[in-house]
Amino acid sequence: GGEVGASLGSASAGGEKPLSSAWQAALSGATSMSQGQRKRPPPRRPVGKPPENRPARALFCLGLKNPLRKVCIDVVEWKPFEWFILFTIFANCVALAVYTPYPNSDSNATNAQLEQIEIIFMVIFTLECFMKIIAYGFVLHPGAYIRSVWNSLDFLIVVIGLVSGALDFLMQGEGGEAGFDVKALRAFRVLRPLRLVSGVPSLQVVLNSILKAMVPLLNIALLVMFVIIIYAIIGLELFSGALHFTCYNNETGSRMESPHPCDNGTAGFNCSNLNKDGQYFVCLDDWEGPNYGITNFDNFGLAMLTVFQCITMEGWTDMMYYIADAMGNSWQWIFFVSMIILGAFFVMNLILGVLSGEFSKEREKAQARGDFMKLRKKQQIEEDLRGYLEWITAAEDIEMEGDDKKETDAKAVEVDPDKGDENDEAQQPSWWQKKKKGFDRINRRARRACRKAVKSQAFYWLIIVLVFLNTAVLASEHYRQPDWLSQFQDYTNLFFVVLFTCEMLLKMYSLGFQGYFVSLFNRFDCFVVISSITEVVLTSTEIMPPLGVSVLRCVRLLRVFKVT
């Protein structure tokens, strides 16, 4: 403190130093005292992206300072180069889609041009592969090119492309009599779209999640098979041979149109219902069954196939109706409904749950890797900023001390005793100010009470009960309802509109407009109330046609979401 006062005093008395020099001296003194006479080293310049852990040598001869390797590292890690490779892969996929295969060695002009373009693609992919091998090494150390799964896939695709191109060239040189069909290797071109996976991290997350989910999916598959076997055995015991009966004309022996199962008893479909114009039908066991005899429970294999079809929810209702026609509609529906609930809704959705869980894990891993790199850069920036903040804090402390000193000096000034009465009279509040102050006090108390009320559990449950009552009134509307019910619904709707409007205004008053509209749910509630008021006005004035009024009345149902 003494050093600061001495520096300020010498600056003001001697007049040799300007005020800015005195302020700088005080700042340096305060900073040195706060840091315990320690001098802070100058802030370090951010060093940018930290270097990767690369091997000292690649291919046994190329060091980190080798010009060729440095160029390869800069190129393969250059963002435009990555985008160029992705664009090339996409263009190659388009070329593969345009290519039209012909039998034997036939071709056309388009295919010939695509073969020339294929050479350009192979050159680009081969150069990319060689540059990455030079930059990262091949296989003998961590982080090498071939140790990455995606790079291994790229390398395999490039090698297959080079081999197929070389064999194609040799066959053309020998007049096509080499006896080796290159088309078998050309089929591996379909793997090239997989190179997009190595260039797009989000696709890597998806594919990794599918691969990681294979083991859990095996357990789910066993559970699905277990459910299918159980229901197949039950269906085999209950419905074996029941789907081969259908109606035949008793005179001509022709089968009914759109055949379906029947029953000779009274439980299922009776063929006598088709008797007309002297034609009589009887139920005979001479039909192969639905879907040309594939869909039935005659043996264990077909029963499993039928249960699998039902679990996939493909035509399971038709199968249930077939069984009802063949055996009646007393209890057979329990078999199918329980199979759909357990097999389709529960077991099959477990597959989606496993895939979703593995995808979330892989996405978190990818985000963690990206966040780690961002954190390292952020820590470097924060270390540089921390020193500047110390200087700013010290300057703010000195400025605040100066402001406090000014306030103390102002309070120490004595007031003239002759003018004291005049000052007291001038400081007396007026009648309007007193009334305004009293009104503000009452307004604050009222808003506090209203805020406490709208946030209470009793108010919450009151609104919930009103919403349910309003929903019950809306649900009571039906076709050809009596006039007294229509009048009751109109008056009740008006009553609920008034109540919900009062609720909205009460919340606006207690929370304020800004506080009320901060909540998205309050905005939704305001929209419903305004729509309800508009519907009441348009209904009473008969301005809008009935269809428009009906649409607005549907907005009332949105009040049900207030329960949430």
CATH class as words, domain 57-170+180-199 = mainly alpha
In this predicted structure, the answer to whether residue 237 has a pLDDT above a threshold of 50 is yes
Contact between 509 and 452 under an 8 Å Cβ cutoff? The reply is no
In this predicted structure, the answer to whether residue 430 has a pLDDT above a threshold of 70 is yes
The answer to whether the Cα torsion of 224, 229, 232, 238 is positive or negative is negative
Contact between 108 and 102 under an 8 Å Cβ cutoff? The reply is yes
- Under the banding of pLDDT at 50, 70 and 90, the label for residue 498 is very high
Tell me the CA distances in angstroms from 442 to 120, 254, 276, one per residue in order: 84, 93, 88
- Under the banding of pLDDT at 50, 70 and 90, the label for residue 37 is very low
In this predicted structure, the answer to whether residue 201 has a pLDDT above a threshold of 50 is yes
Reply yes or no on domain 214-366 having CATH 1.10.3470.
no
C-alpha closest to that of 486 among 265, 123, 494:
494
Q: What Rg do the C-alpha atoms of the chain give, in angstroms?
A: 42
Judged by DSSP in three states, 41 sits in coil
Least confident of 239-248, 377-386, 477-486, 513-522: 377-386
The CATH number given to 456-562 is 1.20.120.350
Task: Report domain extents, the chain.
Answer: 57-170+180-199, 214-366, 456-562
56-82 residues labelled b (16+ CB within 10 A) or e (exposed): eebeeebeeeeeebeebbebbeeeeee
C-alpha closest to that of 76 among 189, 260, 199, 216:
199
456-562 has the same fold as 57-170+180-199: yes
401 marked as binding residue: no
Q: Which residue has the tokens 């046609």?
A: 545
- Predicted pLDDT of residue 310: 92
pLDDT in tens, 169-198: 777 666 555 445 566 667 777 777 777 777
Judged by DSSP in three states, 222 sits in helix
With the CA atoms of 457, 459, 464 and 465 taken in that order, what torsion angle do they form, in degrees rounded to the nearest 10?
Answer: 110
**Looking at the whole model, is its pTM more than 0.85?**
no
DSSP assignment string, 54-111: --SEETTTEETT-HHHHHHHHHHT-HHHHHHHHHHHHHHHHHHHH----STT---HHH
Q: What is the mean pLDDT of residues 240-251?
A: 86
Mean confidence (pLDDT) of the chain: 77
In this predicted structure, the answer to whether residue 551 has a pLDDT above a threshold of 60 is yes
Least confident of 6-15, 199-208, 246-255, 319-328: 6-15
- Predicted pLDDT of residue 46: 40
Rounded Cα gap, residues 42 and 23, in angstroms: 21
With the CA atoms of 453, 457, 460 and 462 taken in that order, what torsion angle do they form, in degrees rounded to the nearest 10?
Answer: -90
Contact between 209 and 306 under an 8 Å Cβ cutoff? The reply is no
- Predicted pLDDT of residue 48: 38
